[in-house]
Each structure stands twice: as structure tokens, then as C-alpha cells.
């Protein structure tokens, strides 16, 4: 299939995933009893905040999917980050066995978002990684910020898992966070960080995806702290401050990454090495790039 056809298919996928998530999360916001008996009472603020943020993420995906003009690569990066958030959020509901009337929706969104992330990332890297570049100083900053998540959450989650492993205990809720973070999210941040330190094009392309994902995900955690009084619990500043700082950090780095990331061929008259170590002229590069 031609690349333009693939991208149109991706936009259709964004529209479907966005619409499904808007409806599903909207029902969760309107009906607070939908999770009754299926999740721990202490996690209900988190479920509510996740649904609120999901409605916003879903509506944004719908807007990108309905765009009449073809979305450029940078908007594709934003869409992939939002899909990553849906993958994570509904992965929690799927793994935690939230068997309410919406469970099949959870499965559908989880699977659809996962495939759209994988296929969209592969296609975007194929089209743009060869020419991706960032200012060297910001590339190092971006790599350090990407490394921050693994540095925080690997020790934290492993320290929480170790006593459970030693005493052979099982927990009844939020075990999905350990699975998703340790098996998927933290390795992805780590790979992107190392790739940026080594100036790999694929890492430069995918870093904004991870920062968008991180900003939206931690914003959901921040909101869950702020809405606790509505569920009979006090707000804990120990949860608000770190979440607010991390949300701001990831949002700023995501915006700067999208602004300064260069995805096109080099300027006229220069040559740039391709992945095989040979060089091509800019005229040839521009022809190849635009034909995609």
C-alpha cells in the first residue's frame, strides 16, 4: 500500500479509537457506580481522573482523524503519544479484570491502540528517521529527561515488589501498573534515552511520543489527587507536587521536541549519509522524501 494510503488508514484508526474511548470514558465519568465492586475504593479517584483525561485525549484523536488535510509527521507523533496513553489506561482495566458492561470496549480499545502504536511508529520511523535531527544540546537534555522515568520508577516499583516476592503474597489491585511499567513503558523510555545519547534517528523521532505519553499519564495522576475530596479522601500534597512537576517537565520537553525536531532532508547543496553509509545529494533526497 502507498504511504499516503497507510496514513489515511491510520487517521481512520485514530478516529475509531478516539470515538470509542470518548464514549467509554464518558460513561465512566457520568456513572460513578460503573466500577463499584470491581476496583478498590481507594482507586476510584484514579479511575475517574483517567476517564476525564481519556475523554480529552479521545476528542483530540477524533480531531486529528477528521482533519481534511493530511496530518504531518509531528501531528502523527502527538497521535501516537495519545494512543500510548489509551493503551496504558485501558491496559489497566483489561489486566485488572474490570468486568463491567464496558469490558469488551476496554479490550477493543486496548488492542486497537496497541496495533496503531506499533504500526504507526514503524511507518513513521521508516519515513523520517534517516533525516531526523535535534540541536545537540537539547538532544542531550531530552535524553536525560527520558532517562528520568526509569531512574524513578524502576527502583520504586522493584522495592514494592520485593517484599511481595519474598513473602509470596498477591495483591488485589494495581498489579497491572507493575506489569505495564516494568515490561513496556520504562524499557521504552530507556531505549529512547540511550538512542538519543547515541544520536540514533529512530530515537529522535520517537522521543516526543514518549514525552506526550508521560505528560498525559502523569496529568491523570495529578488530577486523581485533586479530586480525592469528592470521594471522601483528603488531598495529599506529597502526591500533588511531584505529579505537577513531572507533568510540567514532560509537557515542556514534548513541546520543545516537536518544535526543534527536524524531519526533512538537509538544506540545498549539502549531502547527508544514509543508513548504508553512502551519500545522496539533497535533490535526490528531496525527491525521495516528497514521493513518500
Domain boundaries, the chain: 3-261
**Segment 194-252, tens digit of pLDDT:** 999 999 999 999 999 999 999 999 999 999 999 999 988 899 888 899 999 999 999 99
Residue 287 burial (CB count, 10 A): 12
Q: Which residues contact 92 (CB under 8 A, 6 or more apart)?
A: 50, 174, 176, 177, 180
Name residue 133's beta-bridge partners. 262
| Cα gap 218→211, rounded to integer Å | 10
Any idea which residue has 534515552 for its cell? 193
pLDDT at 11 (0 to 100): 87
Asked if 46 and 176 touch (Cβ cutoff 8 Å), the reply is no
> How far, in Å, CA of 151 to CA of 51, rounded?
28
pTM equals: 0.87
Amino acid at each position: 500500500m502507498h504511504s499516503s494510503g497507510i496514513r489515511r488508514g491510520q487517521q481512520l484508526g485514530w478516529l475509531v479509537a478516539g470515538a470509542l474511548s470518548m464514549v467509554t470514558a464518558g460513561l465512566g465519568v457520568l456513572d460513578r457506580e460503573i466500577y463499584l465492586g470491581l476496583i478498590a475504593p481507594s482507586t476510584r479517584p484514579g479511575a475517574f481522573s483517567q476517564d476525564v483525561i481519556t475523554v480529552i485525549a479521545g476528542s483530540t484523536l477524533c480531531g486529528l482523524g477528521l482533519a481534511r488535510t493530511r496530518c504531518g509527521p509531528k501531528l502523527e507523533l502527538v497521535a501516537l503519544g495519545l494512543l500510548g496513553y489509551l493503551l496504558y489506561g485501558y491496559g489497566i482495566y483489561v489486566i485488572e479484570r474490570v468486568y463491567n458492561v464496558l469490558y469488551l470496549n476496554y479490550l477493543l480499545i486496548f488492542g486497537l491502540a496497541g496495533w496503531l502504536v506499533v504500526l504507526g511508529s514503524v511507518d513513521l520511523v521508516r519515513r523520517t528517521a534517516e533525516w531526523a535531527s535535534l540541536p545537540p544540546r537539547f538532544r542531550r537534555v531530552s535524553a536525560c529527561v527520558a532517562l528520568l522515568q526509569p531512574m524513578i520508577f524502576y527502583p520504586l516499583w522493584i522495592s514494592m515488589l520485593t517484599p511481595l516476592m519474598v513473602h509470596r503474597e498477591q495483591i488485589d489491585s494495581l498489579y497491572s501498573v507493575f506489569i505495564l511499567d516494568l515490561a513496556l513503558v520504562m524499557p521504552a523510555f530507556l531505549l529512547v534515552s540511550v538512542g538519543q545519547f547515541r544520536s540514533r534517528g529512530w530515537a529522535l523521532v520517537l522521543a516526543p511520543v514518549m514525552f506526550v505519553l508521560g505528560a498525559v499519564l502523569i496529568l491523570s495522576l495529578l488530577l486523581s489527587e485533586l479530586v480525592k475530596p469528592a470521594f471522601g479522601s483528603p488531598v495529599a500534597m506529597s502526591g500533588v507536587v511531584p505529579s505537577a512537576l513531572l507533568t510540567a517537565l514532560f509537557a515542556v520537553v514534548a513541546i520543545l521536541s516537536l518544535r526543534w525536531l527536524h524531519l526533512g532532508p538537509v538544506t540545498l547543496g549539502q549531502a547527508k549519509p544514509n543508513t548504508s553509509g553512502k551519500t545522496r545529494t539533497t535533490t535526490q533526497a528531496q525527491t525521495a522524501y516528497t514521493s513518500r
